[in-house]
């Protein structure tokens, strides 16, 4: 395997690792609050992991993987926009409505 292939394989695993860890973050946050809770970090990790994985999919030229990751990225970005929207409309600094534990 060439050096370039190894680098891209590492990039792909990094993206998948970040994408997987978002579930751990959500699980821990839910356990701490004793209720289902999706922290803001979940959406950031989804977006970052999804974009890294999208870069890998583009390198691999995999249209199924590209479509799934690019659509998902819009969803993650939109959720972050919705989280920060109330603070912006009220003239408050960009702090989410409820802080994560």
Q: What is the pLDDT of residues 41-56, one digit of tens each?
A: 999 999 999 999 999 9
**Nearest of 98, 47, 94 to residue 75 by alpha carbon:** 47
C-alpha atoms less than 13 angstroms from C-alpha of 18 in its C-beta half-sphere: 18
Confidence at residue 12, expressed as pLDDT on a 0 to 100 scale: 97
Tokens representing 17? 């690792």
Confidence at residue 1, expressed as pLDDT on a 0 to 100 scale: 87
Of all residues in the chain, the percent with pLDDT exceeding 90 is 81
């Amino acid at each position: 395997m060439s050096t370039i292939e190894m680098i891209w394989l590492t990039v792909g695993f990094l993206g998948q690792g970040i994408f997987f860890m978002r579930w751990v973050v959500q699980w821990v946050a839910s356990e701490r609050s004793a209720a289902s809770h999706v922290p803001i970090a979940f959406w950031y990790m989804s977006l970052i992991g999804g974009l890294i994985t999208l870069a890998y999919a583009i390198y691999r030229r995999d249209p199924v993987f590209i479509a799934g990751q690019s659509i998902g990225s819009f969803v993650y970005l939109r959720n972050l926009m919705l989280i920060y929207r109330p603070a912006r409309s009220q003239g408050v600094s960009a702090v989410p409505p409820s802080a994560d534990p």
